Chain A
Amino acid sequence: MPDSDDLLVRQKEFVDAFFRKGAELASELIESNEKLRFRVVELEAELAAARQKLTGFGAAEAAARRYETRFAEIEHENHNLASLYVAAYQLHATLDVSAVLSTIVEILLNFVGARTFAIYVVDGERLVPIAAQNLAADAVPRPALGDPGLGQVAASGNAQYQPAPGVVAAVPMRLGDSTVGAIAVFELLSHKPALDEVDYELFNLLAAHAATALEAARLAAVARAGGGATNPGFAALASLTPS
Chain B
Amino acid sequence: MPPVQRRALIVEDSPTMRHLILFALRRIPLLAVVEAGDGLDALRKLASPDRFDIILTDINMPVMDGLKLVHRVRSDPELGRIPIVIITTESAEEDRRRALALGASAYITKPIQAPQVIATVKELLDAASP
**What residues of chain A lie closer than 8 Å to B112, measured between beta carbons?**
110
Q: Does B75 lie at the interface of the complex (its beta carbon under 8 Å from any beta carbon of A)?
A: no
In the assembled complex, the CB of A70 is this many whole angstroms from the nearest CB of chain B, namely: 13
Interface centre among A85, A86, A89, A189 (most CB of B within 10 A): A86
Q: A86-B19, A87-B16, A106-B17 are in contact. Are A78 and B89 (CB under 8 A)?
A: no
Q: A82-B23, A87-B16, A89-B19 are in contact. Are A76 and B89 (CB under 8 A)?
A: no
**What residues of chain A lie closer than 8 Å to B110, measured between beta carbons?**
109-110, 113, 189
Asked if B115 and A75 make an inter-chain contact with CB atoms under 8 angstroms apart, the answer reads yes
- CB within 8 A of B115: which of A76, A86, A189? A76
Interface size class of A (residues with CB under 8 A): 20 to 34
Asked if A110 and B24 make an inter-chain contact with CB atoms under 8 angstroms apart, the answer reads no
Asked if A90 and B91 make an inter-chain contact with CB atoms under 8 angstroms apart, the answer reads no
Interface size class of B (residues with CB under 8 A): 20 to 34
Asked if A86 and B111 make an inter-chain contact with CB atoms under 8 angstroms apart, the answer reads no
- CB within 8 A of B114: which of A79, A89, A103, A190? A79
Bound state CA distance, A174 and B23, in angstroms? Answer: 28
Asked if B109 and A86 make an inter-chain contact with CB atoms under 8 angstroms apart, the answer reads no
Q: Does A47 lie at the interface of the complex (its beta carbon under 8 Å from any beta carbon of B)?
A: no
In the assembled complex, the CB of B61 is this many whole angstroms from the nearest CB of chain A, namely: 13
Bitwise interface map of B from 87 to 130 toward A, beta carbon under 8 Å scored 1, else 0:
00101100000000000000001111111001000000000000
**What residues of chain A lie closer than 8 Å to B17, measured between beta carbons?**
106, 110
Q: Does A142 lie at the interface of the complex (its beta carbon under 8 Å from any beta carbon of B)?
A: no
Bound state CA distance, A190 and B95, in angstroms? Answer: 14
Q: A75-B114, A79-B115 are in contact. Are A189 and B20 (CB under 8 A)?
A: no
Q: Does A160 lie at the interface of the complex (its beta carbon under 8 Å from any beta carbon of B)?
A: no
Bound state CA distance, A75 and B24, in angstroms? Answer: 10
Bound state CA distance, A191 and B91, in angstroms? Answer: 7
Bound state CA distance, A75 and B119, in angstroms? Answer: 12
Q: Does A72 lie at the interface of the complex (its beta carbon under 8 Å from any beta carbon of B)?
A: yes
Q: Does A145 lie at the interface of the complex (its beta carbon under 8 Å from any beta carbon of B)?
A: no
Q: A78-B114, A190-B91, A192-B111 are in contact. Are A110 and B23 (CB under 8 A)?
A: no
Interface residues of B (CB under 8 A from A): 14-17, 19-20, 23-24, 27, 89, 91-92, 109-115, 118
Listed from nearest, the 9 A-B pairs whose CB atoms lie closest are A79-B114, A191-B91, A106-B16, A82-B23, A113-B111, A90-B16, A86-B19, A75-B115, A106-B14
- Given A75-B115, A106-B17, 7 extra CB contacts under 8 A: A76-B113, A86-B16, A93-B15, A110-B89, A110-B110, A113-B89, A113-B110
